[in-house]
Amino acid sequence: MKRFISTVLKIAVTLLLLYWIFTKYEIGKLYEADFTRLGLAALIFILSNFLGAWQWQKLLQGQGVEFPFRRSLNLYFIGLFFNTILPGCLGGDVVKVYSVSRIEKRGREGLAATFIDRFAGFFLLALFALAGSLYLLISPLFAGQTIRHNILLYVLVIFLIFLVLSAVLFSRRITRLIYEGLLANINPLGLKDKLRDWHELFHAYRHQYRLAGKVFLLSFLIQLFRIAVHYYCALSIGFDIDFIYFLIFVPLIAMVALLPVSFGGLGVRESSAPFLFTSVAAVAAVDPEGHLAVTTQLLASLVGILVGLIGGVLFILTRTADRIEPAAGPARDSD
């Protein structure tokens, strides 16, 4: 019953946000978008998901789970599909972890790999936002283009939070401090022991330096491509502003969309875009009311939904083919 009520509330929030967006903002440009640039945005997004599937496969291998790339790719696109139809933006991760658990009986390892996959992506997004903000401050090309609403402070705080979380996840010294100091005499329902077990799974990545380098490079490309999707959606409606603003604001929009208050973050992304983009004078001069910023996010969401349908088709096909039969034997991809 609680799940039903929660789902109904999220449907209501999504519809209310969309109603507010369509009544407050002029989105006529949505119907005049250049299909060539939208097609390019879709291709870039598809490519980012191929890279994402490869990264997820490598992280699974780091946990000793051997998935062939084809299976990783199928599950990655299926996860993308469920991200668009389930509340928040993490429903697809649950589907992927469940699949690893069902196929390989390695659910804990699958969860650890999927968590690090997500964590790496958001860490790189925070890094992009911070780097873009600093460049905006020091570059003579953007002299006088300050960002209002203390957004730069928020970017810095978010990045520092990710740095602290990285230390908590991967440092054995901090782990000992937590379990032998802060939680020495605290273990309700055995939670401390369970958390310690999860830390051991994350620590499996500590000395896999080659894997860490691959994940960093792949995450860098994946997140850069996904920011580029928004940029080309903007260009498709004539919203021609510098790419640096997308480096700063798209990561913040992605993090806001994590809030589990709507389906696939729909409505949340679009309603946050005008607040962020119009906080810069140069952007506000082009789009003072945020109409183009909202339309850009609607187009980016539409691209995500359309590409996500690939995962929907794969899900139907795999269900028809006896729910993704396990491979006959381990198949390690060559490095």
Residue 157, CA distances (Å) to 30, 123, 154, 173, 252 in order: 34, 12, 5, 23, 12
Any domain includes 68: yes
| 335 falls within a domain | no
Residue 272 within any structural domain of the chain: yes
pLDDT in tens, 216-257: 999 999 999 999 999 999 999 999 999 999 999 999 999 888
Is 120 a domain residue?
A: yes
What residue numbers bound the domain in which 191 lies? 2-320
Mean per-residue pLDDT, 265-280? 90
In a domain, 184, yes or no: yes
Separation between Cα atoms, residue 132 and residue 249, nearest integer Å: 9
Q: Is the pLDDT of residue 332 over 50?
A: no
**CA-CA distance, 280 to 149, in Å (whole number)?**
10
| Domains: count for the chain | 1
Answer whether residue 100 is part of any domain.
Answer: yes
pLDDT at 88: 56
Q: How many CB atoms lie within 10 A of CB 32?
A: 10
Residue 326 lies in a domain: no
Is the pLDDT at 275 greater than 70, yes or no? yes
So what's the pLDDT on residue 321?
A: 58
CA atoms within 13 A on the CB side of 143: 2
Does 105 have pLDDT greater than 80?
yes
Residue 325 has what DSSP assignment?
P
Structure tokens at 94: 């649950």
Q: Distance between CA 67 and CA 110 in Å, rounded?
A: 11
Confidence of residue 322 (pLDDT cuts 50, 70, 90): very low
Provide the residue type at 51 as one letter.
L
Q: Is 176 contained in some domain? A: yes
Q: What are phi and psi of 87, to 5 degrees?
A: -55, 145
Contact (CB, 8 A) for 237 and 295: yes
